[in-house]
Amino acid sequence: MRLKISTPKGGNKVINLSNDATFEDLIAEVKTTFGDISIGKVRYGYPLQTIDIEEQVGNILLMELGISSGERITVESKNSDKNTKHVGQTLPGSCILRNEKQGGPESLPDRISVRPGVLLQVHEVPDDNSCLFHAISYAVYKDMVVSYQFREVVANEILANPIEYSDSILGRPNLQYYEWILKSTSWGGAIEIAILSKYLKIAIFVLDIDAGRFEKFNEDKYSKLMILAFSGIHYDTVEIFHESSKEVETIFKVDDSETDTLLAKAAEVASKMKKAGLSFNTHKGHIKCNSCGVLLVGEREVAHHAESTGHVDFGQAPE
């Protein structure tokens, strides 16, 4: 995996680590790359997560901490900030740190055992208004650095086909939509999923966590599929994790007999996540912006608010 590292003195470099690298490996590589610097904390992700260097997390895999290729890591010196979120705590938003010391796979709502040594789990991507593109990029490349390229693919397809993507379909003038979807603050949805499914020649199954059902794009056209989990306001990637080899699978065969089992297990995970409060009903209830307190109704209002304010921390408002 490739990680972008920023240091207190303004150093910025890309480092390369193996996919089974641990937190300890990350720290060692940072010190090798930047010199023997004093490291106090490591920050990453959206919402922001912080790990204190003194915590006993050295042997935990980066992937289990939610760190994947393309992630931006900020290294801070000691005593730079006393407000540290510890590994194992639930953080704001959709991200849950995976820590096996808390219990087996069944103890976490976003993962489930498929068979001994094989887990189906939700891989969280940054919650930064580009989550759909991040989730698809991770599924295809195990990397999020091509996320913006997927925006360009969508924009160019829409502009080149003004009849298929008419103003009435898009809800705004074709050229205006083209310019809008290129903005990093614009949320993607069904239109973008359908276009990228066709572009990649991969069916995309979107698991609605709140409804507990799949919306399937191009399931009859292609031999491969990916699974995305949708909380109501955020997309993540569903993956299979092999504990012995540390390998991850994100693309599956449509006609494989095991795929039906995976879809059933994914639905079970959705049920667990809903019970844990990790889904949002944007049709019935209000969504609260945790940054400013405003109440919103529907995905469209939430998306517009996120685009206009930059706020990305939302929660289901109590009835």
Rounded-to-10 torsion of CA 54, 55, 60, 65: -110
CATH number assigned to the domain covering 121-275: 3.90.70.80
Residue, of 12 and 94, whose pLDDT is higher: 12
Per-residue confidence band for 102, with pLDDT thresholds at 50, 70 and 90: very low
Average pLDDT of the chain to the nearest whole number: 81
| Residues 6+ away with beta carbon under 8 Å from 184 | 128, 129, 130, 148, 151
Entry pTM? 0.66
**240 neighbors 120 (Cβ within 8 angstroms):** yes
Strands of the sheet with 72-76, listed across from one edge: 12-16, 2-6, 72-76, 41-44, 49-52
Helix ranges (DSSP H) in 142-213: 147-160, 167-170, 174-181, 190-200
- How crowded is residue 163: how many other Cβ atoms within 10 Å of its Cβ? 7
CATH 3.10.20.90 boundaries in the chain: 2-87
Over 50: is that where the pLDDT of 286 sits?
yes
Q: How many residues does the chain have?
A: 319
Compute the average pLDDT of residues 20-46.
83
CATH 3.90.70.80 boundaries in the chain: 121-275
Catalytically active residues are 128, 131, 234, 311
At residue 3, the pLDDT reads 83
CATH number assigned to the domain covering 2-87: 3.10.20.90
Phi, psi of 24 (to 5 degrees): -60, -40
Which run of H or E residues covers position 19?
A: none
